[in-house]
Chain A
Amino acid sequence: MEDQFIKTDILKPENIVYKKTSLMTDKPLSYCPGCGHGTAHRMLMEVIDEMDIVDKTIGISPVGCSVLAYDFMAIDMLGAAHGRAPALATAIKRMWPGHFVFTYQGDGDLAAIGTAETIHACNRGENITIIFINNGIYGMTGGQMAPTTLPGMRSSTSPYGRDVTTMGHPLKITELVAQLPGVYYVTRQAVHTPNHVRKTKKALRKAFELQKENKGLSLVEIVSNCNSGWKMTPVNSNKWMEDNMFPFYQLGDIKVDGKLVVKTETSEKE
């Protein structure tokens, strides 16, 4: 019992080592239980908080599940039409070159509707940061097949699994834009375990630091789960993601300091 007393005794503000950042509003998130969006939002806000750039940051919320991101992030935000977030970000960045501009997009938004905007913004090398959440499905509209859906993966519009002969192959848009000379930093991370969350935060921090140095576009892809769309429990969907998504969408840096990273045996094992 004495031990219990000591435990409750440390619940004081001066002993806090981790709490939700003040840049996340108190509004309950509209996402499903276990969705990676919440963690990604929080890491992004923590980076902005730690860099102390709140009054100089403008975010663009996309169309999709995270369309209400402006309700949850206590920063200046704009909503873009379907897939047009990089175009809007380009405009804002050119008007205010000293501001930090980021877009937060899902795979249906960035890799399907907004492919042209994404590729051309990357090709122009705009000084913006694109945060790309890849869950291999259109989560908000009911789990339809997205360009990033894996071969054989079931969705509501591919109930027998994605057949690559008729439905095409999954689009690795992150690797695609990494080839463009205007892109300076490209990485792929995840947010389902503490270790991955820490790595994602570091990657986001780096992306924003590069924006300060006017180096070019940085793209951080976060492979995430969609337990409602995949019809699994959150824990099982994270496991499924590790077993099926990660072999295809390999985590790690793809382009660092404007140079493509050459994958070796040791770096893949990580």
Chain B
Amino acid sequence: MAKVIGDIAIDIEKCKGCEVCLAACPFTVIAMSKEVNSKGYRFAMKVNNECTGCTNCALVCPDGVITVYRAKVETV
């Protein structure tokens, strides 16, 4: 059976940790890190595999650091 899955890649060095994407994600895929990037911001990161590639997080990200991927994969 084919299934559509999504994934995100976050540019953690440009993320400013505003947390706007957390509220936009319908599946709570994103959470804030405990570490900080070189500018001292906590950055957003993916914490589970529920992503469907809906692009909501990338649309609201003011700094455009999120790239969204979506693909159809065959599952057994």
Our verdict on whether A and B bind, yes or no, reads: yes
Given contacts A7-B49, A33-B41, whether A17 and B18 have CB atoms under 8 Å apart is no
How far, in whole Å, are A196 and B31 apart by their CA atoms in the complex? Answer: 22
A230 CB to closest chain B CB (Å) equals 14
Interface hits, A191-232 → B, CB 8 Å:
191-194, 197-198
Q: Which residue of A lies closest to B19 (CB)?
A: A235
Residues of A within 8 A of B (CB): 3-4, 6-12, 15-20, 24, 28-29, 31-39, 42, 191-194, 197-198, 233-235, 238
Contact A35-B62, Cβ < 8 Å, known A10-B5, A10-B70: yes
Contact in complex: B20, A235 (CB < 8 Å): yes
In the complex, A161→B15 CA distance in Å? 33
Q: What 4 pairs between A and B have smallest CB-CB spacing? A: A38-B62, A34-B18, A33-B16, A20-B64
Do B70 and A193 have beta carbons less than 8 Å apart?
no
B5 with A19: CB separation less than 8 A? no
Q: How far is the CB of B47 from chain A (nearest CB, A)?
A: 12
21 contacts between A and B (CB under 8 A): A10-B70, A10-B71, A11-B9, A11-B69, A16-B69, A17-B6, A17-B70, A18-B66, A18-B67, A33-B16, A33-B17, A33-B18, A34-B16, A38-B62, A192-B60, A193-B60, A194-B55, A197-B60, A233-B19, A235-B23, A238-B23
Which of B6, B18, B56, B65 is in CB contact (< 8 Å) with A194?
B56
Most buried by B among A10, A12, A29: A10
- Residues 17-32 of B at the A interface (beta carbon under 8 Å): 17-20, 22-24
Residues of A within 8 A of B5 (CB): 6-7, 10
**What residue of chain B has the Cβ atom nearest to residue A201's Cβ?**
B59
Answer whether A18 and B14 are a contact pair too, CB < 8 Å, given A4-B49, A31-B62: no
CA distance A198 to B61 in the complex (A): 13
Provide the residues of chain A in CB contact with B62, threshold 8 Å.
29, 31, 33-39
**A18-B67, A34-B62 known; A7-B7 Cβ under 8 A:** yes
B58 is an interface residue with CB less than 8 A from chain A: yes
Question: In whole angstroms, what is the CA distance A32 to B73 when docked?
Answer: 39
Complex-state Cα separation, A16 to B68, whole angstroms: 6
* Contact of A38 with B7 in the complex, beta carbons under 8 Å: no
Contact, CB under 8 Å: B20 / A198? no
Chain A residues with CB under 8 A of B70: 10, 15, 17
Say whether A18 contacts B68, CB under 8 Å. yes
Contact partner, B55, options A7, A18, A33, A235, Cβ 8 Å: A18
**Chain A residue at minimum C-beta to C-beta distance from B58:** A18
Contact A10 B7 (CB under 8 A): yes
- Nearest to A24 among chain B residues (CB) is B64
The residue of chain A having its C-beta at the shortest distance from the C-beta of B13 within the complex is: A28
Chain A residue with Cβ nearest B25: A194
A39→B18 contact, CB < 8 A: no
Q: How far is the CB of B21 from chain A (nearest CB, A)?
A: 10
Q: Are B20 and A34 in contact (CB under 8 A)?
A: yes
Q: Using A8-B7, A38-B62, A194-B24 as known contacts, say yes or no to A19 and B67 having CB atoms under 8 A apart.
A: yes
Contact call B49/A3, Cβ cutoff below 8 A: yes
Residues of A within 8 A of B65 (CB): 20
